[in-house]
Amino acid sequence: MFGYHYRLERNAIGLVLAIVVAASIGGFVEIAPLFTIDETVEDVPDMRVYTPLELAGRNIYIREGCYACHSQMIRTLRDEVERYGPYSLAVESKYDHPMLWGSKRTGPDLARVGGKYSDEWHVAHLINPRDVVPPSNMPAYAWLQRTPLEVKDLGLHLKALRQVGVPYTDDMIANAAADARNQAMPDDGGAGGLTQRYGEATQIRAFDGNPANVTELDALVAYLQILGRLTDAAYKPAAEGG
């Protein structure tokens, strides 16, 4: 064995090939089957996609690095289920490019934070976390309320997501910018076709409390309020049994 190696280390190309082969096997065995084995992701027909406003909120969540301190993955452990709710299913992040499972909880898990607090609480908390949670060490995000949301490119975002496998329709892509505005400015002449495109359960309101304009705060709160609510598969008894 060592004699063989004695010859191998005299051959640069041989060494390169051996390294590539040795280093490829593990990833290939563990990753490739995840795309081919059907049971990897549960089959859930009612799983819906993010609206353009929620997607914009998700991108703000990514941009501000929220994932570094908040996980979105409730593990199959009793204390986590009792603290945060039913454990996370693979299907719940099926349309998440990329996933935001996170690796650290400097703050609590957010996988099921949607609907847990009021919009007013989220707005106050994001502007200054210590106003509502005095011992909090979360950064303040006051500027989100001052910054108008950029909606004109949202169609491009939906289109790119369709290319990587999220089922956005032509109709959704064409109306992306208007849908984002309508979801956060309900007084502005109705919601258009928003509920037809994304379902009756779509939450339509001035998330930041101000219906006169659409801010980044609107988008982020809309996203936080949908977390864990894209499907109710995790609450069904069949899932509980697993």
Partner 1 sequence: MVSQLTMNERRWAMGILIALSLIGLTMLGAGRGDAFGVHGAIVAAAAIAMIFVVISGYFAPEPGEERLTRYYDDPSKAGIVISMVWAMLGLFVGDWVAWLLAYPNLTFDAPWSSLGRIRPVHTTSIIFGFGGNALIATSFHVLQRTTRARLPDQLSPWFVLLGYNLFCVIAVTGYLMGVTQSKEYAEAEWYADIWLVVVWVTYFAIYLRTLARRKEPHIYVANWYYMAFILAVAMLHIVNNLAVPISLGHAKSYSLFSGVQDAMTQWWYGHNAVAFFLTAGFLGMLYYYLPKRAGRPIFSYRLSIISFWGITFIYMWAGSHHLHYTALPQWVQTLGMTFSVMLLVPSWASAGNALMTLNGAWHKVRDDATLRFMMVAAIFYGLSTFEGSFMAIRPVNALSHYTDWTIGHVHAGAMGWVALITFGSIYAVVPWLWKREAMYSARLIELHFWLALSGTLIYVFAMWNSGITQGLMWRTYNESGTLAYSFVDSLVAMYPYYIARAIGGLLFFLGAIVGFYNIWMTIRTAPAEARASEPDAPALSGARVQPGE
Scan residues 181-210 and list those touching partner 1 (CB under 8 A). Answer: none
Cα–Cα distance, 33 to 14 (Å, whole number): 29
Neighbour count for residue 5 (Cβ, 10 Å): 11
Among 48, 85, 124, 140, binds partner 1 (CB under 8 A): 140
Q: Considering only the stretches 150-158, 184-192, 199-207, 219-227, report the one whose residues sit in contact with partner 1 under the rule CB under 8 A.
A: 150-158
Cα–Cα distance, 24 to 49 (Å, whole number): 34
Cβ proximity to partner 1: between 39 and 43 the closer is 39
Does residue 238 interact with partner 1 by CB under 8 A? no
Binding mask 2-31 for partner 1 (x = CB under 8 A): x--xx--xx-xx-xx--xx-xxxxxx-xxx
Does residue 163 interact with partner 1 by CB under 8 A? yes
Binding residues for partner 1 restricted to 103-132, rule: CB under 8 A: 103-109, 129-130
DSSP 3: H
Cβ proximity to partner 1: between 100 and 219 the closer is 100
> Cβ 18 to partner 1, closest distance in Å?
8
> Is 52 within 8 Å of 158 (Cβ atoms)?
yes
Q: Considering only the stretches 56-64, 118-126, 202-210, 220-228, report the one whose residues sit in contact with partner 1 under the rule CB under 8 A.
A: 56-64
Cβ proximity to partner 1: between 114 and 155 the closer is 155
Neighbour count for residue 131 (Cβ, 10 Å): 11
Q: Considering only the stretches 58-66, 196-204, 205-213, 225-233, report the one whose residues sit in contact with partner 1 under the rule CB under 8 A.
A: 58-66
Cα–Cα distance, 188 to 209 (Å, whole number): 14
Q: Considering only the stretches 59-67, 116-124, 169-177, 219-227, report the one whose residues sit in contact with partner 1 under the rule CB under 8 A.
A: 59-67
Give, in degrees to the nearest 5, the angle at Cα 94 between 167 and 220. Answer: 85
Neighbour count for residue 116 (Cβ, 10 Å): 15
Classify burial at 96, counting beta carbons within 10 Å of its beta carbon; exposed 0-12, middle 13-18, buried 19 or more: middle
Among 90, 174, 236, 240, binds partner 1 (CB under 8 A): 90
DSSP 148: B
Does residue 99 interact with partner 1 by CB under 8 A? yes
> Cβ 194 to partner 1, closest distance in Å?
22
**66-92: b (≥16 Cβ within 10 Å) or e:** bbebbbbbbeeeeebeeebbbbbbebb
Q: Considering only the stretches 160-168, 179-187, 196-204, 218-226, report the one whose residues sit in contact with partner 1 under the rule CB under 8 A.
A: 160-168
